[in-house]
Structure 1
Amino acid sequence: MNNSNQTLTIKEQLQACRSKEETFKTLVTLSKTLPRLSSEEKTEENKVKGCESAVWLIVEESNGIRHFNADSDAKLMRGVLVAILSLVEGKSIADIQQIDLKAELAELNLSSYLTSSRTNGVLAILEKIQATKQ
């Protein structure tokens, strides 16, 4: 695996993309860094409703800090999940609720990939991330 991008944050990597193709390649590369969920974790309860692709999101809380595991059957969505989770992983629910996730995502050059149906799915993911109850 090419580690030259490891020093750049995910946000910086995506902002550095100058074309739709470059953004796509970056998302596919990022998708490979997301650990796969087991078939036991891919439950209806963990499935995010409203996504065009199948997306599963597990939210765990430990000492007030949230940790996320996610997966999708679509490579592009897996890359988008990596980008989203990079904004919230290891933060408290209070901190997560202070973040304007929609504005943060808008800065990541993803709009050309978020069709209206994908955008609905991403919004459902953001809602689940920011929900106070599991």
Structure 2
Amino acid sequence: MTDFPTPHTVKQQLQACRSKEETFKALVTLSKALPRLSGEEKTEDNKIKGCESAVWLIIEEDTGRRYFRADSDAKLMRGVLVAVISLVTGKTQQAIQETDLKAELAELNISSYLTSSRSNGVLAILQALQA
């Protein structure tokens, strides 16, 4: 994940958007930074329940730090996943749990894309990341 965008880069890209269309394009562009999961990795165990789109999340730990791989069948959700994962990847579980992910996401200018059902999915993703 060497080319994975930093939280600062993600925030800059999304906060620079002045319209819903620009935000959509930025999220689609961000989605390209998320490596696809293999078919074997898209299991029910890795699937996030409660998402409108199919979303899979794999949590890996290395020397006490957590790293995340994820995928979705929707480009928009893949972009949201990049934004969320950029906030937590490489941190310890405690640091992730201490991060107010909802507040961090609120600063990213993507709330107009989070319909009530999609918001429930994003909340399920945040809970999985902090578990």
Task: Assess same fold via TM > 0.5.
Answer: yes
Q: What's 2:21 paired with?
A: 21
- Deviation at residue 123 of structure 1 after TM alignment: 0.3
Q: Is 2:53 the partner of 1:80?
A: no
Identity across the alignment (%): 76
Aligned-pair CA distance for 1:33: 1.1
- In the other structure, the counterpart of 1:50 is 50
Deviations 1:78-115 (A, max 9, x none): 00000000100110011101110000000001110000
Instruction: Give the counterpart letter for 2:130 in structure 1.
Output: Q
- How far, CA to CA, are the matches of 2:59 and 2:123 in structure 1? 16
CA deviations over 1:31-71 (Å, ceiling 9, x no partner) = 11110000000000000000000000001111110000000
**Structure 1 equivalent of residue 125 of structure 2:** 125
SS of alignment partner, residue 91 of structure 2: coil
CA–CA distance in structure 2, aligned partners of residues 98 and 78 of structure 1: 24
Alpha-carbon distance in 2 for matches of 1:18, 1:128:
31
Runs of 4+ in 1 over 6 A off after TM superposition: none
Alpha-carbon offset, residue 12 of structure 1: 1.1
DSSP-derived class of the 2:119 partner: helix
Q: 1:89 corresponds to which letter in structure 2? A: T
Structure 2: which 5+ runs fail to align?
none
Q: Normalising by structure 1, report the TM-score.
A: 0.91
Equivalent pairs, count: 126
1:10 and 1:111 map into 2 onto residues whose CA distance is 15
Going by fraction, where is helix more abundant, 1 or 2?
Answer: 2
SS in 1 for 2:41: coil
Q: Which residue of 1 aligns with 2:69?
A: 69
What is the rounded CA distance, in whole Å, between the counterparts of 1:11 and 1:48 in structure 2? 24
1:39 to 2:45 alignment: no
- Alignment correspondent of 2:30: 30
What is the aligned partner in structure 1 of residue 104 from structure 2?
104
CA RMSD across the alignment: 1.3
Aligned equivalents of 1:13, 1:28: Cα separation in 2:
12
- Structure 1: runs of 5+ lacking an equivalent: none
